[in-house]
Amino acid sequence: MTTNSDIAQAFFSIIDSAALGYPIAYPTKSFTPPDSGHWLEVSFMPNSGIDQGLKSGTVLMQGLAQVNVCGRPDTGLIPLHNISEQVGALFPKNLVISGNVRVSKTPYNTDIIPLEDRIILPLTVMYSE
């Protein structure tokens, strides 16, 4: 049976092995964003499984990983989208992540988040068994 730890490790490994050239912030690891340029901030968010009913002991795993593509203010939106497309290409729909767990939807962006010290373009990668 695939666990949430297995799925998270697989997501992180795919991003690491791609060697995209951007610093990456992972949950619970110390990270200082660069003064210039772009970086990635990765989050893993498992959801409650899909219960197959009382007669079945099967629960299907599902959730998402989010990769925030980040840069400093005034660096423009297009570079963030270009980086997001690079990351999204690592996770095509139906890619096997771990065990029977697959990317269940083409990765997608939500609206840009402008902060005082950075701009963020979230990329969501959904998965399920």
Number of domains in the chain: 1
Report residue 48's pLDDT band, with 50, 70 and 90 as the boundaries. Answer: low
Report residue 129's pLDDT band, with 50, 70 and 90 as the boundaries. Answer: confident
pLDDT greater at residue 54 or residue 32: 32
Report residue 2's pLDDT band, with 50, 70 and 90 as the boundaries. Answer: confident
pLDDT tens readout for residues 111-125 = 999 999 999 999 999
- CATH code for the domain in which residue 101 is found: 3.30.2000.20
The per-residue b/e assignment along 76-102, b for 16 or more CB within 10 angstroms, e otherwise, is eeeebbebbebbbebbeeeeebbeebb
Domain extent for 83: 4-27+38-49+57-128
Q: Among candidates 118, 67, 70, which has minimal Cα distance to 88?
A: 67
Note whether residue 32 is domain-resident. no
pLDDT tens readout for residues 65-101 = 999 999 999 888 999 999 999 999 999 999 999 989 9
pTM of the complete model: 0.89
Note whether residue 19 is domain-resident. yes
Q: Among candidates 43, 64, 67, which has minimal Cα distance to 120?
A: 67
